[in-house]
Structure 1
Amino acid sequence: MIVDQAVYRDGRRQPCADLSDELAKLADVPDGFLWIGLKDPTDAEFDLVKGELGLHPLAIEDAVNGNQRAKMEVYDGSLFVVLKPLRYIEESSQVETGEVMLFVGEHFVVTVRRGEANPLAEVRRRLEANSEHLAYGPAAVLHAVMDDVVDRYVAIDDEIAHDLEQMEESVFAGEVEVEASALGDAPPPVPHRRRGGEEARRIYLLKREVLEFRRAAVPLKDAMLRLHQHPTPNVPDEARPFFRDVADHLLRVIDHIESYDRLLSDILSAHLTRVSVQQNDDMRRISAWAAIGVAVTLIAGVYGMNFRHMPELAWTFGYPMAIGLMLVVSTVLYRQFKKSGWL
């Protein structure tokens, strides 16, 4: 549906009447432009604007179908920009991806929003309060929307960094407890049998969030660099420094994303190594107790054979001696396994 539409002249909002008439009037206004906002539009709704604005069929096809990667394309002097805004959900600590597309012409801007990840009403309100910025025309809208999307990236970057820090503390807490126990500063840690699988699941989910973040931010890099480094249709040269500032924020976020991906891989490897070591420790304990049990069973088996001429069969102290021998052998084996760290 059409969420909002207005004409802007001299940095001020004015009501929009017939599109053809408005575009004809704007032809003689250097900084005048038309801004139409659409949300989840259908083909019929696009038909209302594409003919009047002369939008390219390929760009319209991408906008109707959706699910595009972040990009910027030039069609007959107009720009088609796809952005992937993100929204951090506090309840589940997950990242939700939306989609915003912009058609930027000489005297018009059409914004197409899909999903709830990036409402543009606040962007329009802030832009309308800054008449000086609106003087740059459609480029002002392009910059404002891009700046808002990247600012959300920065906020989500902080949230993911916090989640990653908590993940590190959780995964390596066991190693800290073990070291403290070895130094005599704390009791031995109690093993959590279900903790390993849960932590691996959390690491995997966070890695998926980082991947989703990367898919949204990294492809936008080329578009941002082009906007501030090279002449671009409908973007005045004096507006290019504003895009450079947004590009700096985006590049910093991308650097963080790359480091998060590597760090999560290292954390996952360390976690799997920790689980493997824990399993080896369990197997050593089981083997040590089994060895003690085998020794006792061997003695009981020997003295349990009821042969007629067996030594000590009729000895009065044979039974206490057998029990004592079992205790001595078990104690010696236990102390040896304890000394070697198997128990």
Structure 2
Amino acid sequence: MLINCVVYEDGTKLADIPVSEIREHISLPGCFVWVALQDATPEELDELQREFGLHPLAVEDARHGHQRPKVEEYGASLFVVLQLLESSGTADAVSRLGELNVFVGKNYLVSVRNHSERGFLEVRERCEREPGLLRNGPGFVLYALMDAVVDRYFPVIDAFEVELETIEQQIFTQGAARASIKRLYGLKQRLTVLKHAIAPLLEGAAKLHGGRVPQICLGSQEYFRDVVDHLDRINASIDAIRDTIATAIQVNLSMVTIEDGEVVKRLAAWASLFAVCTAFAGIWGMNFEHMPELKWRYGYAAALTLIAGTCGYLYYRFRKAGWL
């Protein structure tokens, strides 16, 4: 679905135009066209390929989707893939994964958003409010899109940190070990999704501000460096959260071991009490003719008293030692 198709000249918006008029505007000096689509159909991609001369391999990637983040050069044009993560205030937001494909040339930019309801209207408004920067052409628009996508990663990181803090507070709650392990592993899996969105993009974005910078991005290198700085911060936060999760898992497993040890101690203590009763009963239950105190009138009461007293003393000692 076509969202909008706008032509700009010297950093200023001229008009919204139909796709059929693209070719006559991109031939004008100082003009470039910015086309935005959502969940584009193969027919729409084919039409834009004819209008802008998009590279067929890039169009094929955009058509099939599910690409890893990357920045690829095709002659004088760029093809950029970004993964979209939308935060709903919880760490579960990572499961809501979309994709943004961007085709950039000297006098055009085509953005194709897939599987995401949240658009980039604020990016267009920002660019139009800064005509001095928009004079840099499609390169600056590419930066603005990348910056908006990267900024959306920060709330997801915050949600991860909040979720991890909540789990850490429950680790020392008795009986919560199984639930904590399950939540920690779920958090680790979702964090891996974010890592796969960040790491390749960090590598690709580094090409846009240092070394042999593509011609399209000349004049906007320092802005791309800002994007790389943000990606570095996010990547460092991901690594820190992963280390914390690993530590939390080890602590949780240690708590499980400690709880199992407490159970074993309780069982051993109760087994000892019953063993005393069994030992005394076994001794006095032997059917020998010459048993000590066999004919004693108070022998039964004395035996019960001795058994109860011994068990009581052992219970006291176990209780004092924390076994019961």
Q: TM-score range by the shorter chain?
A: over 0.9
1:256, distance to aligned residue in structure 2 (A): 1.0
Match of 2:42 in 1: 43
The CA distance in 2 between the partners of 1:25 and 1:279, in whole Å, is 74
Match of 2:126 in 1: 126
Q: In structure 2, what residue type is equivalent to 1:162?
A: V
- Structure 1 pair 161–40 and aligned structure 2 pair: CA distance change class (3 A): same
Q: In structure 2, what residue type is equivalent to 1:139?
A: G
Q: In structure 1, what residue type is equivalent to 2:62?
A: A
Instruction: State the secondary structure of the residue aligned to 1:89.
Output: coil
Q: Does 1:298 align with 2:279?
A: yes
Q: Is the 8 A contact 2:205 2:224 kept in 1?
A: yes
Q: How many residues align?
A: 323
TM-score by length of 2: 0.92
- Structure 1 pair 65–99 and aligned structure 2 pair: CA distance change class (3 A): same
The CA distance in 1 between the partners of 2:323 and 2:55, in whole Å, is 73
Match of 1:185 in 2: none
Instruction: State the secondary structure of the residue aligned to 2:110.
Output: strand
User: Any residues of structure 2 matched to 1:266-305 within 5 Å, and which?
Assistant: 266-305=247-286
User: Any residues of structure 2 matched to 1:1-20 within 5 Å, and which?
Assistant: 1-17=1-17, 19=19
The CA distance in 2 between the partners of 1:94 and 1:299, in whole Å, is 65
Q: Once the two structures are superposed, what CA deviation does each residue of 1:74-101 show, in whole Å capped at 9, x if it has no partner?
A: 0121000001121122367432221101
Match among 252, 260, 265 for residue 246 of structure 2: 265
Q: Does 1:136 align with 2:136?
A: yes
Q: In structure 1, what residue type is equivalent to 2:219?
A: E
Q: Is the 8 A contact 1:150 1:246 kept in 2?
A: yes
The CA distance in 2 between the partners of 1:168 and 1:9, in whole Å, is 55
Q: Once the two structures are superposed, what CA deviation does each residue of 1:169-210 show, in whole Å capped at 9, x if it has no partner?
A: 222x44xxxxxxxxxxxxxxxx42xx1111111111111121
Q: Does 1:319 align with 2:318?
A: no
The CA distance in 1 between the partners of 2:282 and 2:217, in whole Å, is 96
Match of 1:333 in 2: 314
1:17, distance to aligned residue in structure 2 (A): 3.7
1:119, distance to aligned residue in structure 2 (A): 1.8
The CA distance in 2 between the partners of 1:25 and 1:124, in whole Å, is 19
136-145 or 292-301, which moves further after superposition? Answer: 292-301
Q: Once the two structures are superposed, what CA deviation does each residue of 1:40-91 show, in whole Å capped at 9, x if it has no partner?
A: 1221221121111111111111101111001000012100000112112236
Match of 1:178 in 2: none
Q: In structure 2, what residue type is equivalent to 1:253?
A: I
- Structure 1 pair 121–304 and aligned structure 2 pair: CA distance change class (3 A): same
Gaps of 5+ in 1: 175-190
Q: Is the 8 A contact 2:202 2:231 kept in 1?
A: yes
93-102 or 207-216, which moves further after superposition? Answer: 93-102
Instruction: State the secondary structure of the residue aligned to 2:220.
Output: helix
Match of 2:62 in 1: 63
User: Any residues of structure 2 matched to 1:1-343 within 5 Å, and which?
Assistant: 1-17=1-17, 19=19, 21-30=21-30, 32-90=31-89, 93-95=92-94, 96-116=96-116, 118-171=118-171, 173-174=172-173, 191-192=174-175, 195-305=176-286, 309-343=290-324
Q: What is the CA RMSD across the aligned residues, in angstroms?
A: 2.0
1:137, distance to aligned residue in structure 2 (A): 0.8
Instruction: State the secondary structure of the residue aligned to 2:306.
Output: helix
Among all aligned residue pairs of Structure 1 and Structure 2, give the percentage whose two residues are the same amino acid. 36
Q: In structure 2, what residue type is equivalent to 1:146?
A: M
1:334, distance to aligned residue in structure 2 (A): 2.2
Gaps of 5+ in 2: none
Q: In structure 1, what residue type is equivalent to 2:142?
A: L
The CA distance in 1 between the partners of 2:216 and 2:162, in whole Å, is 37
- Structure 1 pair 242–58 and aligned structure 2 pair: CA distance change class (3 A): same
The CA distance in 1 between the partners of 2:280 and 2:292, in whole Å, is 14
Instruction: State the secondary structure of the residue aligned to 2:216.
Output: coil
Q: In structure 2, what residue type is equivalent to 1:140?
A: F
